[in-house]
Structure 1
Amino acid sequence: MEPGEYEALVARANSGGAMELLQFMRTHKIHQPELVLLHGSRLVKSRGLGNELWTVLEQVFLAAAELGCDQWRDYCLKELTTKFPSSLRVERLKGIEKESLGEWKEAEKLYQKILATKPEDTLTHKRLIAMHKQSGKVPEAIEAINTYLDSFTTDSEVWHELGELYIEQGTLQRAAFCFEELIVQNPRSMYTILTYAELLYSTGDLENSRKYFSLACYVDGANLRALWGLFTCNMALAEKDKSREKSKQFQELQKFTMEKLRAAYKGLGAQGQVALKLLAAVPTVSAS
């Protein structure tokens, strides 16, 4: 996506560019249901879409279901059901309709029925997970995710979602396992490395936490979150075992961290100067 490209499409949507805008939103997964309903409903009324009509109807249905626009939701679903009476995709849309009405049990029955016929349908699995989250049933969402991951073990998006749910539940060791899986899939992701390091720190695994904060600093030596994490973890280890303060590893890591922090803050203007003053007040530890 080029800078300004989406904004230009929005500007042209009222003068004949609505179809192009909706296609762009689908391709780039842009979530603005108000725009979809505004422009998609006009396109549907025009009836000049050919085979694209069904794609637009589905797009408008999803927007209407989210916004609570019952008339457009019901109209689109009726049209799609008439055209594709045996479609599992349309059955999934019926589940979304039930969700929009707050009929969670009926929606779940529809999703389970689809999965009984087509257990490899990842979209229905994810819809079931989303429904549990939306209805506030976090344990059920976690169970659904674990069932999904039994078959689709490399889905990083779902591993991340599971990790976040475990964090929400305060089950940090299980969350750490999820982020460990994510690191295996993408070993240079700063977000994943740092979150895993912080989870290890929170669970008391300071040695491994320091290793992953060190890895984050290796990947990006100017990342303040990584540098402060390494500094804090190193200090916690020294506090736990005073003899560490005299070790060569401790001295080198603290020196490295402080130098990197000073270098990072020097380029941050007035705010950086405040941080530098605070760093100057941090007591240094020297070997004796």
Structure 2
Amino acid sequence: MEPGEYDALVAQAQTGGSAAVELLQFMRTHKIHQPELVLQHGSKLLRNQWLGNELFVVMEQVFLAAAELGCDDWRDYCLKELTRNFPSSLRVERLKGIEKECQGEWKEAEKIYQKILSTKPEDTLAHKRLIAMYKQQSGKVPEAIESINKYLETFSTDSEVWHELGELYIEVGHLQRAAFCFEELIVHNPRSMYTILTYAELLYSTGDFEASRKYFSMASYLDETNLRALWGLATCNMALAEKDKAREKTKQFQELQKFTVQRLRSAYNRQGNAAGKAALKLLSTMTW
């Protein structure tokens, strides 16, 4: 995507016709999530029947936007037309499941997705709809976790779902399992600061201070100005020193803590506000 390309298409789409079709195609290709824009232009195109071969693709796109925005008339119209034209399509069956979700008919939606998976177990979209459906319902986190684990048995390289599982494990307090998920994410993207820092924090929370320090050190190496990484490193050093009193007497350990605290002091000295002063006061207790 070229800089400004999308904005130019949005402006051109105001004229309708082929420009609006091009915009919707672009949004599908680049996975741009703006349901209001889809409904605005897609509904006009459907009214004017100016679509040709794009008719049913746009109809599905409008259905999804309408379902998300709560526009029942357009949602029902699109689903009715798609069902009439493709009565045996699994793709349309998924849309029926989404409609049931919109109506709060969770059991019916679940039946639809399970039926699709019994016919086509490799249908990733049906799997993900089941997971999303469980997450929307109060008290259904265990079912969501079970569904994700089942999904990952087949699609183990899906980093997005590993992340989702890790967050769910954090939500229910299963930190060691969450750490395993974030370890998988590091394998997929070893330079992701968010993943490295979250993994380091999970290791710290489970009491593995040595491993936690290694990952905070890695994050500090990747971005030496990252305060989250520096605070984590300093905190790990304190925890390790408390755990092993002999460790804090070693010159190497003292130098590492001194270096880390100096970096933090330098950052907060530049702030000059109340938060910065409070941080500096705390840092004065973190060296020995």
Verify same fold: TM over 0.5.
yes
1:36/1:227 CA distance change after superposition, 3 Å: same
1:139 to 142, 145, 148: 142
Please give the secondary structure, in 2, of the residue aligned with 1:51: helix
Residues in 2 aligned to 1:270 and 1:25: alpha-carbon distance in whole angstroms: 45
1:180-212 CA-partner distances (Å, limit 9, x unpaired): 111122222111110000001111111111111
1:217/1:175 CA distance change after superposition, 3 Å: same
1:49-72 CA-partner distances (Å, limit 9, x unpaired): 111111110010011111221111
Aligned partner letter, 1:67: L
Residues in 2 aligned to 1:273 and 1:91: alpha-carbon distance in whole angstroms: 55
Matched, 1:169 2:176: no
- Report the Cα offset of residue 271 of structure 1: 5.5
1:110/1:281 CA distance change after superposition, 3 Å: closer
Equivalent in the alignment of 1:239: 242
Relative to the length of structure 2, the TM-score reads 0.91
Show structure 1 runs of 4+ deviating over 4 A: 262-266, 268-273
Q: Which residues in structure 2 correspond to 1:226-265 (within 5 Å)?
A: 226-264=229-267
- Report the Cα offset of residue 276 of structure 1: 9.9
Aligned partner letter, 1:124: A
1:119-148 CA-partner distances (Å, limit 9, x unpaired): 111111111101111123111110000000
- Report the Cα offset of residue 98 of structure 1: 0.7
C-alpha RMSD of matched pairs (Å):
2.2
Q: Check conservation: 1:129, 1:145, Cα contact below 8 A.
A: yes
Equivalent in the alignment of 1:68: 70
Aligned sequence identity (%): 76
Residues in 2 aligned to 1:4 and 1:52: alpha-carbon distance in whole angstroms: 25
Equivalent in the alignment of 1:223: 226
Residues in 2 aligned to 1:40 and 1:272: alpha-carbon distance in whole angstroms: 52
Higher mean C-alpha displacement, 202-211 vs 17-26? 17-26
Q: Check conservation: 1:265, 1:272, Cα contact below 8 A.
A: no
Equivalent in the alignment of 1:36: 38
Q: Which runs of 5+ in 2 are unaligned?
A: none
Aligned partner letter, 1:63: A
1:138-187 CA-partner distances (Å, limit 9, x unpaired): 11110000000111111100000000001111111111111111112222
Q: Check conservation: 1:142, 1:162, Cα contact below 8 A.
A: yes
Q: Which residues in structure 2 correspond to 1:172-211 (within 5 Å)?
A: 172-211=175-214
Residues in 2 aligned to 1:262 and 1:124: alpha-carbon distance in whole angstroms: 51
Aligned partner letter, 1:69: C
Q: Check conservation: 1:65, 1:100, Cα contact below 8 A.
A: yes
Relative to the length of structure 1, the TM-score reads 0.91
Residues in 1 aligned to 2:282 and 2:77: alpha-carbon distance in whole angstroms: 67
Please give the secondary structure, in 1, of the residue aligned with 2:104: coil
Equivalent in the alignment of 2:89: 87
Aligned partner letter, 1:145: I
Q: Check conservation: 1:37, 1:63, Cα contact below 8 A.
A: yes
Matched, 1:130 2:132: yes
Q: How many residues align?
A: 285
- Report the Cα offset of residue 12 of structure 1: 2.9
1:56-108 CA-partner distances (Å, limit 9, x unpaired): 10010011111221111111011111222221111111111111111111111
Please give the secondary structure, in 2, of the residue aligned with 1:48: coil
